[in-house]
Amino acid sequence: MLIAYVVLLPFALNNYSPAWIIWHICYGHWNIVMIVFHYYKATKTSPGYPPTVKNDTPFVSVCKKCIIPKPARTHHCGICNRCILRMDHHCPWLNNCVGYFNHRYFFCFCVSLTLGCVYCSISGRNLFMDAYSALERFKHSDMEKPGVAATGMGLLIGILPSGQTSYQTSAPPYTFKDRMFHKSIIYMWVLTSTASVALGALTMWHAVLISRGETSIERHINSKETKQMAKRGKKYRNPFNYGKLNNWKLFLGVEKRSHWVTRVLLPSGHAPPGNGLTWDFFPVKKDMVPV
């Protein structure tokens, strides 16, 4: 971010057309707001915990470590040392578990950060090529070292004019600021390009899981159940898979068309539907969430 404001923004203001300047400023700042907002919410929002006192909430088992009832999709986190509602995983980036109430923030943070890295990689490619070429030129110019005192043989063969015993090279055609400018661009491009590949793969994997209506932990459980049912000649069906579109609507909290803008494209602190304890969103009709 420091490179973007200190190096790239002044460069864009001096070299780009007004239309491109407006585009980069608007999109760049929207992307930054989305990254910061969702990261903050993912770290500060509780993932959700099952009740520790006796109640009428249905449960599927009792945690052997917490010694409390575990509702469906609840799992124990060994790092947090407590049960998490619809636990996906414990994220070291967030220093927090990713569970029912902050899973959307985590995923949106990954999406926003991936988009930011891809944006920097694509828009900065030409700058990277120019910066790399400039550093190569600087490198070759540095090979021309200052001359040293010439011997008598040097005077004889005409290397130096008569009476001159050394040769002084001219000042380098670049400054320290020029070198740091080009190095900053190369550093930014390499970092964002590699991060976009690694983070993009992680984001795509979580998108696949969301489309299937399962978490990272449930993926392993469902795979095991599928194999066991296949041995019996039966087909396993994930009871929490409501269809790809419905899975996304529930995950993003989309209840009407305007929510695709106000709750997806813009920062939103709305809570997910339900309480994370029961999962009967579509008990009768398959598609009950309006577009």
**pLDDT tens per residue across span 162-217:** 555 444 455 555 677 778 887 888 888 999 999 999 999 999 999 999 999 999 99
- Other Cβ atoms closer than 10 A to 26: 10
Q: Is the pLDDT of residue 63 over 60?
A: yes
Q: What is the pLDDT of residue 157?
A: 46
Name the DSSP letter for residue 271.
P
Q: Is the pLDDT of residue 155 over 50?
A: no
Q: Which of 83, 91, 97, 108 is catalytic?
A: 91
Average pLDDT (93-120) is 95
Name the DSSP letter for residue 146.
P
**pLDDT higher at 81 or 154:** 81
Q: At residue 58, what is the residue type?
A: P
pTM recorded for the entire structure: 0.82
Span of 82-91, 115-124, 133-142 with lowest mean pLDDT: 133-142
Span of 7-11, 50-54, 234-238 with lowest mean pLDDT: 7-11
Q: Is the pLDDT of residue 5 over 80?
A: no
Active site residue 91: yes
Q: Is the pLDDT of residue 153 over 60?
A: no
Question: Phi/psi class of residue 272: alpha, beta or left (left: φ > 0; alpha: ψ in -120 to 50)?
Answer: beta
Q: Is the pLDDT of residue 260 over 90?
A: yes
Phi/psi for 273 (5° steps) reads -70, 150
Q: Is the pLDDT of residue 110 over 70?
A: yes
